[in-house]
Amino acid sequence: MEKVCSNQMSFLGHVILTCVFEDIAEGYPDDSLRTIHAKTELYRMINHSLQGFGPQSDDFIFLSILYLMSSEIGRHGGGHFNLHYQALERLIPQRGASSSLGHENIAALLKV
């Protein structure tokens, strides 16, 4: 948890999962406005980070995308899950494959 909370992107990803849980508990078939707002902010942060992509931000970008993927599990449609997965598939080879992703615990999760 310390690693997740040490970065705004990964912390926001964690918050998004909480928002989705609340949406489901409240009976929303799709994302609520609060969840849409949080996801939009995370997309903005990821895009901004990709422009200055470096080893320090790699893990947090990948972790944030994993949070976005998780937020789509069991939701209506599931098309966004596939989009996030495809983004990981494209980004990992661009960063030198999973063996060079930085923190080994996160890299181990990303064996694509």
Divide the 112 residues of the chain into consecutive groups of 10 and give the mean pLDDT of each group: 80 92 91 94 90 65 86 73 81 63 52 46
* CB distance 40 to 86 below 8 Å: no
Q: Please give the residue range of the domain that contains residue 33.
A: 2-109
**Global pTM value:** 0.75
Looking at the 3D structure of the chain, how many domains does it have? 1
78/72 Cα distance (integer angstroms) = 6
- Residue 47: predicted pLDDT: 87
Using CB atoms within 10 A of its CB, is residue 41 exposed (0-12), middle (13-18) or buried (19+)?
middle
Cα(34)–Cα(68) distance, integer angstroms: 15
